[in-house]
Amino acid sequence: NAGVMQNPRHLVRRRGQEARLRCSPMKGHSHVYWYRQLPEEGLKFMVYLQKENIIDESGMPKERFSAEFPKEGPSILRIQQVVRGDSAAYFCASSPGTNQPQHFGDGTRLSIL
């Protein structure tokens, strides 16, 4: 029974490039959440998605960041024109519904050169 799968585990990009982070939820989970963890800070909510719908993106930066959860395939967090400040660990979580707690993947550590 696989957990939440995130890939890649580590991603290095140069300033100005694009970063794509992928998340496959646990089997039977149709709700996906993305969080960002900066050094010495707690996890910060970014976005909540269900299949083909963005439910809450109140934590997403207004520019350069986007997320999707298509009908088929993993959820994608996309960061365009990355800057040094985007360096962080990005975690994905999933749940079967809003009345069930979230389970997390092991994250993608993004480093910007």
Residues that bind other proteins (CB under 8 A): 4, 6, 33, 35, 40-45, 48, 55-56, 58-59, 91, 95, 97-107
Closest separation in Å from C-beta 73 to other proteins: 21
Closest separation in Å from C-beta 32 to other proteins: 11
Closest separation in Å from C-beta 111 to other proteins: 14
d(CA 39, CA 81): 21
Nearer to other proteins, 68 or 106 (CB): 106
Pick the closest to residue 91 from 101, 71, 77 (CA basis): 77
Nearer to other proteins, 45 or 111 (CB): 45
Nearer to other proteins, 28 or 81 (CB): 28
d(CA 27, CA 38): 28
d(CA 26, CA 9): 17
HSE-CB at 49 with a 13 A cutoff on CA atoms is 25
- Take residue 30 and report the two structure tokens written for it: 């149709």
Closest separation in Å from C-beta 81 to other proteins: 27
